[in-house]
């Protein structure tokens, strides 16, 4: 019988104890980051070969109190090293030292003392001494001191057992192999696999969770992927015993694979990462058992090719470190939750995250949660059952408790406004239903003396309506008192007709804007709501900026982008909040690049992309001056949207932009990036804009303005201008 210590990451000691017990270990005792156990040497060999959770297996050869560095040297010298280590000069050793005391607070000094004791013992006893190799020694000695108690061991594993050998490359946020195994055990994957349940990973990265799941399901020993164990250079190494254990594990592997394992699928948006995963899977010998493919989260659903048993969705999505990353990932997790609730009823979900607050964005309560350490990073493993009773309901219930202030009798002016609003609502009802419209302009200065725009937004998550009411600044000829009275009449009528809380009616005054005024902060509430437009979800902020993040008059332009985008490489210039980018992606675009100078709106675009389950790594959002970007890049695109501001004089730009003055040069620059059979959609909301067709006569123009103005903007045919521009012309 020998005494051993198995090290492991903190917080999985209980799992490791259970695993060692199943392997036949005795006298088990948990401690921080490891488990003591006893058994014959066969037990240690089996632990090195079969443990999915341990980092190292240490053979304890001495444990004693020490009170000085000299005593540490002496007690180590007295150990019978010649029974364990060859003194041949071609042999090598290394000492790992951990812990500290009052007399040793430097690990290098402690390691030096132990090393000196070992080599001095061997030299005095045999006349020879081994050499030191800190990189790849034959024997690795482990010394640990805690509370003046030293424990000296020989490292039977020789390397950290989490390094199986099949993974030579990893993704951006890799999970260690033994942490992946812990995740799967906590999620009860072995029982799910035995019952025939399949496993899916929508953000598989380099494939570690997939491979560990397959090893468990097929009963494959993880130690089969390495032959470099520390005990092989131990003087008492029993080669015959080890060979029998190795052959038994190989036989179990063959039986497990022949028996077959449940389907295991992994997806990732990044083709490069999927290539890494395929290489790792091939090295693990599991190419025929694990399927990986490029797929964005937007298209994550259960397999449809045949009948299957619902199983486990396991994921280690990114969790971000910077504020902008977290905001984007919030949207990503929201979309992940939507996919799970829509397509995975009855499934189990295991989510490993370094930011538990992001896990709350799934919209489900976790059944259980466990703390884990992935390296130095503290993570939470959240375990879910996708059933309706676990879904959050707070947002839906809040509608019942929102107070609505009653409106008294209307003035004659307010009555006129109320009648017009009711008429518009009735006129738009059929159109809204037929076209699935959730955000629209319900009033646009229909009565000139009540000059305002009222836009209706429906919060997708709660179903509650919001109104964005913008007063057009009155001319100086209108007395201020009269203007204020009309404004109050309009607001009173609005409250009466829509019967929504005042807190859901956001009011602003809109004057003629210059430069980037429309991008400037109006407030700091950061109160975003999610709205539905076609197949897309988009974030709208009604309070913080003059514009909301979604230009409603461009609805049909975005629909046209979605119609044209399938299998095309697309470019969105002056992308604003990326709503057109999302429509292009929903329409099946191969790749979309989005460019805008504003950091705020680039971050907003990233969030919109993530909210719809697409990858910003695959579809980059670039913060840059579009004019300069066009000059410095030489890429070609099949579909380009060019929607510049009327005027811009940002300090970050090299020059000002005046769309009337500069549109010819801007279009020439943009057309150089359009593929021979591509389409450029150019639009501007400058109402007095005149296209210089003579200077642009080398291109074919098709005015599609009338086709891009929807019913709610039909009263104002000059709300924007829009053209399709090609090199060779478009069929009518």
pLDDT in tens, 704-731: 999 999 999 998 889 999 999 999 755 4
Q: Is the dihedral of CA 18, 23, 24, 25 positive or negative?
A: negative
Domain boundaries, the chain: 2-155, 177-221+259-392, 397-511, 544-732
**What pLDDT sits at residue 623?**
97
Sheet of 309-315, strands arranged across? 290-294, 264-268, 197-201, 309-315, 348-353, 377-385, 368-374
**3-class state of residue 335 by DSSP:** helix
Nearest-5° angle of CA 384, CA 389, CA 393? 100
Q: Considering the domain 544-732, what is its CATH architecture?
A: 3-Layer(aba) Sandwich (3.40)
- Greater confidence (546 vs 692) lies with 692
C-alpha to C-alpha distances, 43 to 12, 21, 26, nearest whole angstrom? 20, 10, 9
C-alpha torsion angle, residues 293, 297, 303, 308 (rounded to 10): 120
- Give the residues across from 707 on adjacent strands: none
Looking at residue 65, the DSSP 8-state letter turns out to be E
Q: What percentage of the chain exceeds 90 in pLDDT?
A: 83
Within 10 Å of residue 508's Cβ, how many Cβ atoms? 18
What are φ and ψ of residue 598, in 5° steps? -80, 125
pLDDT band for position 649 (cuts 50, 70, 90): confident
Burial class (CB in 10 A: 0-12, 13-18, 19+), 524: exposed
Q: Radius of gyration (Cα) for the chain, nearest Å?
A: 34
Asked if domains 2-155 and 544-732 share a fold, the reply is no
**What pLDDT sits at residue 293?**
96
**What pLDDT sits at residue 461?**
86
Lowest mean pLDDT among 17-21, 45-49, 453-457, 509-513: 509-513
- Greater confidence (415 vs 404) lies with 415
**8 A C-beta contact, residue 560 and residue 628:** no
Q: Is the dihedral of CA 436, 439, 444, 446 positive or negative?
A: positive
Alpha-carbon span 305 to 315, nearest angstrom: 22
Query: Can you state the angle between helices 599-611 and 323-343, rounded to 10 degrees?
Result: 20
**8 A C-beta contact, residue 350 and residue 381:** yes
Alpha-carbon span 103 to 65, nearest angstrom: 13
- Greater confidence (21 vs 89) lies with 21
- Greater confidence (333 vs 522) lies with 333
pLDDT digits (tens, 9 = 90+) for 476-497: 788 889 989 999 999 999 999 9
Within 10 Å of residue 462's Cβ, how many Cβ atoms? 17
**What pLDDT sits at residue 525?**
67
The helix (run of H) or strand (run of E) holding residue 605 is helix 599-611
Looking at residue 545, the DSSP 8-state letter turns out to be B
pLDDT band for position 518 (cuts 50, 70, 90): very low
Task: Report the phi/psi class of residue 148: left, alpha or beta, with left for phi > 0 and alpha for psi in -120 to 50.
Answer: left
DSSP codes, 176-242: PHHHHHHHHHHTTHHHHHHTTEEEEETT-TTSHHHHHHHHHHTT--GGGG----GGGGSTT--HHHH
Span 214-231, average pLDDT: 95
**Max mean pLDDT range (43-52, 310-319, 386-395):** 43-52
Which of 242, 218, 219 has its CA nearest to residue 232?
Answer: 242
**8 A C-beta contact, residue 642 and residue 674:** no
Strands 591-596 and 528-533: unpaired
**What pLDDT sits at residue 422?**
96
**8 A C-beta contact, residue 235 and residue 88:** no
Residues in the chain: 732
**What pLDDT sits at residue 515?**
46
What are φ and ψ of residue 150, in 5° steps? -100, 135
Alpha-carbon span 77 to 345, nearest angstrom: 64
Which of 553, 537, 538 has its CA nearest to residue 455?
Answer: 553
Given the candidates 3.50.30.50, 3.10.450.50, 1.20.1090.10, 3.30.750.80, the CATH classification of the domain at 397-511 is 3.30.750.80
pLDDT band for position 395 (cuts 50, 70, 90): very low
**What pLDDT sits at residue 318?**
87
Strands 92-99 and 131-132: parallel
What is the number of alpha carbons within 13 Å of residue 11 lying toward its C-beta? 18
Answer yes or no: is pLDDT of 511 > 70: no
Within 10 Å of residue 115's Cβ, how many Cβ atoms? 20
- Give the residues across from 169 on adjacent strands: none
Q: Which residue has the tokens 């002056």?
A: 574
What are φ and ψ of residue 355, in 5° steps? -135, 90
Answer yes or no: is pLDDT of 376 > 90: no
Alpha-carbon span 581 to 562, nearest angstrom: 9
The helix (run of H) or strand (run of E) holding residue 19 is helix 13-23
Answer yes or no: is pLDDT of 732 > 60: no
pLDDT band for position 462 (cuts 50, 70, 90): confident
DSSP codes, 375-391: TTEEEEEEEEE--GGGB
What are φ and ψ of residue 127, in 5° steps? 85, 0
The helix (run of H) or strand (run of E) holding residue 282 is helix 271-283
Taking each continuous run of H as one helix and of E as one strand, the counts in the chain are 19, 30
**3-class state of residue 455 by DSSP:** strand
* Mean pLDDT computed over every residue of the chain: 92
Distance of CA 334 to the CA centre of its chain: 11
> Which residues have CB under 8 Å from 138's CB, separation 6+?
86, 91, 92, 93, 130, 233
Q: What percentage of the chain exceeds 70 in pLDDT?
A: 93
**What pLDDT sits at residue 477?**
81
**What pLDDT sits at residue 603?**
96
Q: Which fold has domain 177-221+259-392?
A: Rossmann fold (3.40.50)
Task: Report the phi/psi class of residue 730: left, alpha or beta, with left for phi > 0 and alpha for psi in -120 to 50.
Answer: beta
**8 A C-beta contact, residue 366 and residue 645:** no
The CATH number that domain 2-155 falls under is 3.30.2130.30
């Amino acid at each position: 019988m020998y005494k051993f210590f198995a090290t492991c990451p903190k917080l999985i000691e209980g799992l490791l104890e259970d695993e060692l017990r199943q392997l036949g270990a005795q006298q088990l005792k948990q401690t921080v980051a490891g488990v003591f156990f006893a058994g014959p040497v066969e037990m240690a060999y089996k632990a090195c070969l079969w443990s999915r959770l341990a980092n190292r297996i240490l053979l304890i050869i001495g444990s004693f109190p020490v009170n000085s560095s000299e005593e540490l040297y002496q007690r180590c010298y007295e150990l019978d090293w010649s029974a364990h280590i060859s003194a041949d000069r071609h042999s090598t050793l290394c000492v790992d030292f951990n812990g500290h005391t009052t007399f040793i607070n430097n690990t290098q000094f402690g390691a030096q003392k132990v090393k000196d004791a070992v080599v001095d013992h061997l030299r005095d006893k045999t006349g020879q001494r081994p050499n030191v190799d800190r990189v790849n020694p034959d024997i690795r000695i482990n010394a640990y001191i805690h509370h003046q108690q030293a424990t000296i061991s020989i490292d039977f594993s020789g390397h950290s057992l989490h390094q199986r050998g099949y993974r030579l490359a990893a993704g951006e946020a890799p999970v260690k192999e033994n942490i992946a195994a812990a995740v799967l055990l906590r999620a009860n994957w072995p029982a799910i696999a035995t019952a025939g349940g399949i496993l899916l990973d929508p953000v598989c990265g380099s494939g570690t969770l997939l491979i560990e799941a397959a090893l468990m399901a097929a009963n494959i020993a993880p130690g089969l992927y390495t032959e470099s164990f520390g005990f092989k250079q131990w003087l008492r190494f029993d080669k015959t015993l080890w060979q029998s254990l190795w052959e038994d594990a190989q036989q179990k592997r063959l039986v497990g694979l022949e028996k077959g394992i449940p389907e295991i699928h992994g997806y990732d948006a990044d083709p490069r990462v999927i290539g890494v995963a395929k290489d790792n899977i091939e090295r693990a010998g599991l190419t025929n058992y694990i399927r990986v493919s490029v797929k964005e989260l937007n298209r994550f659903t259960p397999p449809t090719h045949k009948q299957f048993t619902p199983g486990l969705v396991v994921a280690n999505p990114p969790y971000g470190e910077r504020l902008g990353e977290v905001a984007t990932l919030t949207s990503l997790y929201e979309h992940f939750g939507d996919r799970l609730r829509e397509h995975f009823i009855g499934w189990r979900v295991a989510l490993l995250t370094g930011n538990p607050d992001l896990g709350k964005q799934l919209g489900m309560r976790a059944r259980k949660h466990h703390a884990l350490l992935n390296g130095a990073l503290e993570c939470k493993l959240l375990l879910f059952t996708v059933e309706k009773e676990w879904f959050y309901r707070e947002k839906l219930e809040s509608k019942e408790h929102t107070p609505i202030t009653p409106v008294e009798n209307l003035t004659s002016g307010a009555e006129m406004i109320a009648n017009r609003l009711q008429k518009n609502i009735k006129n738009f009802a059929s159109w809204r239903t037929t076209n699935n419209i959730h955000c629209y302009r319900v009033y646009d200065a229909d009565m000139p003396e009540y000059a305002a725009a009222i836009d209706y937004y429906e919060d997708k998550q709660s179903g509650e309506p919001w109104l964005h009411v913008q007063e057009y600044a009155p001319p100086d000829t209108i007395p201020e008192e009269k203007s204020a009275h009309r404004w109050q009449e309009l607001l009173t009528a609005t409250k009466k007709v829509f019967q929504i809380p005042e807190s859901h009616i956001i009011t602003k005054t809109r004057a003629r804007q210059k430069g980037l005024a429309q991008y400037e902060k109006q407030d700091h509430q950061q109160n975003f709501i999610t709205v539905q437009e076609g197949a897309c979800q988009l974030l709208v902020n009604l309070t913080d900026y003059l514009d909301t993040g979604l230009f409603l008059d461009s609805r049909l332009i975005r629909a046209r982008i979605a119609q044209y985008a399938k299998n095309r490489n697309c470019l969105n210039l002056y992308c604003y909040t990326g709503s057109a980018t999302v429509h292009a992606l929903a329409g099946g675009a191969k790749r979309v690049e989005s460019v805008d100078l504003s950091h705020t709106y680039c971050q907003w675009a990233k969030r919109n992309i993530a909210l719809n389950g697409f990858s910003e790594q695959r579809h980059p959002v670039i913060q840059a001056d579009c004019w300069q970007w066009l000059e410095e890049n030489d890429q070609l695109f099949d579909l380009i949207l060019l929607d510049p501001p009327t005027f811009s004089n940002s300090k970050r730009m090299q020059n000002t932009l005046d769309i009337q003055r500069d549109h010819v040069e801007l279009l020439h620059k943009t057309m150089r990036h359009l593929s021979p059979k591509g389409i450029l959609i150019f639009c501007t909301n400058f109402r007095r804009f005149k296209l210089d067709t003579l200077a642009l006569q080398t291109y074919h123009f098709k005015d599609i303005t009338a086709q891009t103005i929807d019913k709610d903007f039909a009263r104002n045919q000059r709300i924007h201008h829009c053209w399709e521009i090609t090199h060779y012309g478009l069929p009518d």
